[in-house]
Amino acid sequence: MELLVAQLLNGLVYGVLLFLMAAGLSLIFGLMNVVSLAHGSFFMLGAFVGLSIAQLTGSFWLAMLLAPLPIVLLGVAMELVFLRPLYGRGHVDQVLLTFGFTFVFLDLVQTLWGRVVLRLPAPEALQGSVQIGLGVFSAYRLFLIGLGFTIALLLWLILERSRIGAMVRAGVDNAAMAAGLGANIPALFTGIFAFGVALAALGGIAAAPVLGLYPGMDSEILIPAFIVIVIGGMGSLRGAFAGSLLIGIADTFGKAYFQSIALFLIYLAMLLVLLVRPQGLFGIKYSDVSIAPAVTTTSVPATVRTRAAAMVALLALVALPFALSGYPRALVSEIFIFAIFAMSLDLLLGFTGLMSLGHAAFFGLGAYSVAVLGAQLGLNAWLGLLAGMLVAGTGAAVVGFFCVRTGGIPFLMLTLAFSQLLFSVALKWRNVTGGSDGMAIAEIPSFFGFTLSNSLTMYFMALTFFVLTYCGLRRLLNAPLGHAFVGIRENEPRMAAIGYPTRAYKLLSFSIAGAIAGLAGGLYAIFNGFISSDALYWTASGDILIMTMLGGAGTLIGPALGAAVFLLMKNVVSSYSEHWLAVIGVTFVCCVMFFPGGLWGAVQKMRWTRAAS
């Protein structure tokens, strides 16, 4: 009995920490319609700034009081300077901008505090234990439970019993109507964003004595916080509180008694809530607005000049490996593979208007198909590659069957939930997948009689599949089916009104994109000779989203360019500077702010301007 009580209290501790993260995140989305992937970074920064203040002053309480202040100033500057100009662009740029900032903030933490796990002791007055029944429990953890419930009560009183709370509730229900009645919506936006950042920073410093401090703690708290607001309902304080306690207790008991499936059950719960009630248990219902890409360039038939330029580029790529040594040649081979992956997402995002944060799941399915079928059945890697495309395409069809019934943010969250569900399976099914340790492919195959252990053969294999994929997708998008995808992206209600079964077309696009992602995953397994569960994690989906938008969605060649720029910066800049994360983050933020069409869109705009003059 004492053990059950202790686990319940531990669950409440984790729950209130999640609440401090999720409450602000939920209100930011409910009022501002912004999904901020940088919210976990504010939690992390709060913890590290609090550590420094505690070390300087010798007071944990002073650190808890002062640590949120600089983080709030940072958050307000981010909202005013970077987020506010993007409110009219839709969710894609907002999500990607905040994702870019996570790179910058992570690099900042690694630079100032290092890459090791640090500890912040609880205040001396709360370092003891309290007798509860026949057992004892940490005094500091009991303090956290009391702090969380007190903050929840104060927030409820502010939102339900004050004029400011009435304006916030009105803004959540209908921001335009609230503005018409005299509410200063821009100031309200900034205030809510600052408030959410303050709660996250407070949560970080409060969690430090329990969870420790380390770079990467932002992503580890962000996903559970997203699960909380999905289950509880975006924009609902009551939902954030109930969802936090539910997930906190379920996660604690799951890890204690059902360790092998605890993670799976949490993601499954999120998935079921999204399928049955997309707005969450206590959330308000909002319209499923499709997410249009930043670039809306449609596919057009190639001119003679374009074909000539393509042939010159192809000949240059054929000649390139002979001028490169082993490592640069391998890097370009990797770029070709990730260009295929990025083009698969472009079919979904750029041409069909569906933004996914779970596309890495199909990449992982393709990769694991090659590795597992080779290890378990002795299947040839090329047959494994075909099987991987089939498995990934079938998996995408199953996932898409549920996802395409929604749009906008519910679609985004559903793809994230399915991806994390598959990630948890790959992580825990160690006897098949190797879990976090990963697994190697059984044998390195040959390509037209030449072994792929040779970097030159690997280069031409990757180039061949890249060219075939590009030409195949280009042909598809110039066909009536591709035009239907673009029509759905531009105006789905109109396409439905003239007789197109839009849900079926979206499912088909989702399935094709999944199969091509599986192809890229299988090729990567052959290229790398190894695959682990990290390939399915949500940050892998974020990386490929960055590549797609960096180059320019809706162009096919743009995502390939984005993959090249991203991987070159990651590999080349990292060899010269430890701050490659900041370089990538700043580059991406600048691209979102100043080149909404991506790098390829900027090139096209320059060409059109020159032609017009």
Which residues, listed in sequence order, are joined to residue 131 by a DSSP beta bridge?
Answer: 136
Domain presence at residue 299: no
Verify that 94 and 215 share a domain, yes or no. yes
Position 295 scores a pLDDT of 47
Least confident of 31-40, 45-54, 398-407, 523-532: 31-40
Position 289 scores a pLDDT of 47
Alpha carbon distances (Å) from 253 to 10, 35, 139: 9, 29, 21
Residue 299 confidence (pLDDT) above 50 = no
pTM equals 0.88
Verify that 374 and 517 share a domain, yes or no. yes
Position 32 scores a pLDDT of 76
Verify that 511 and 574 share a domain, yes or no. yes
Domain presence at residue 289: no
What are the backbone angles phi and psi of residue 419, rounded to the nearest 5°?
-65, -45
Across the range 235-242, mean pLDDT stands at 86
The 8-class DSSP code of residue 118 comes to: B
Burial (Cβ within 10 Å: 0-12, 13-18, ≥19) of residue 161? exposed
Verify that 45 and 155 share a domain, yes or no. yes
Position 606 scores a pLDDT of 79
Task: State what percent of residues in the chain have pLDDT above 70.
Answer: 94
pLDDT in tens, 18-28: 999 998 888 88
Confidence band, pLDDT 50/70/90 cuts, at residue 122: very high
Across the range 180-184, mean pLDDT stands at 73
The 8-class DSSP code of residue 174 comes to: -
Position 203 scores a pLDDT of 95
Verify that 265 and 309 share a domain, yes or no. no
Strands 129-132 and 135-138: antiparallel
What is the separation of C-alpha 195 from the centre of its chain, rounded to a whole number of angstroms?
A: 23
> Looking at per-residue confidence, does 129 or 41 come out higher?
41
| Angle at CA of residue 25, ends 24 and 31, nearest 5° | 85
Confidence band, pLDDT 50/70/90 cuts, at residue 586: very high
Verify that 263 and 371 share a domain, yes or no. no
Verify that 410 and 547 share a domain, yes or no. yes
> Looking at per-residue confidence, does 300 or 406 come out higher?
406
Least confident of 83-92, 169-178, 246-255, 476-485: 169-178
Verify that 404 and 449 share a domain, yes or no. yes
Domain presence at residue 292: no
Which residues, listed in sequence order, are joined to residue 531 by a DSSP beta bridge?
Answer: 439
Domain presence at residue 258: yes
CATH number, domain containing residue 327: 1.10.3470
Verify that 250 and 309 share a domain, yes or no. no
Position 284 scores a pLDDT of 63
Domain presence at residue 283: no
Across the range 415-444, mean pLDDT stands at 87
**What is the three-state SS of 360-403?**
HHHHHHHHHHHHHHHHHHCCCHHHHHHHHHHHHHHHHHHHHHHH
pLDDT in tens, 322-374: 998 888 999 999 999 999 999 999 999 999 999 999 999 999 999 999 999 98
pLDDT in tens, 134-163: 577 889 999 999 999 999 999 999 888 888
Q: Which of 493-502, 576-585, 588-597 has maximum average pLDDT?
A: 493-502
Across the range 194-204, mean pLDDT stands at 95
Position 383 scores a pLDDT of 93
Specify the number of domains making up the chain. Answer: 2
**CB within 8 Å of 136: residues ≥ 6 apart:** 129, 130
Verify that 382 and 450 share a domain, yes or no. yes
Confidence band, pLDDT 50/70/90 cuts, at residue 417: confident
Q: Helices marked H in 404-429 — which ranges?
A: 408-428
Q: Which amino acid is at 604?
A: Q
Residue 300 confidence (pLDDT) above 50 = no
Position 129 scores a pLDDT of 84
Position 302 scores a pLDDT of 57
Confidence band, pLDDT 50/70/90 cuts, at residue 610: confident
Domain presence at residue 123: yes
Which residues, listed in sequence order, are joined to residue 406 by a DSSP beta bridge?
Answer: none
Which residues, listed in sequence order, are joined to residue 129 by a DSSP beta bridge?
Answer: 138
Q: Which of 46-50, 236-240, 266-270, 416-420 has maximum average pLDDT?
A: 46-50
pLDDT in tens, 511-555: 999 999 999 999 999 999 999 999 999 889 999 999 999 899 999
Q: Which amino acid is at 165?
A: G
Domain presence at residue 166: yes
Position 290 scores a pLDDT of 46
Q: Which of 123-137, 282-296, 572-586 has maximum average pLDDT?
A: 572-586
d(CA 117, CA 119): 7
Domain presence at residue 390: yes
Domain containing residue 123: 2-276
d(CA 537, CA 61): 36
Position 294 scores a pLDDT of 46
Verify that 315 and 404 share a domain, yes or no. yes
Residue 120 confidence (pLDDT) above 70 = yes
Position 108 scores a pLDDT of 95
Verify that 355 and 396 share a domain, yes or no. yes
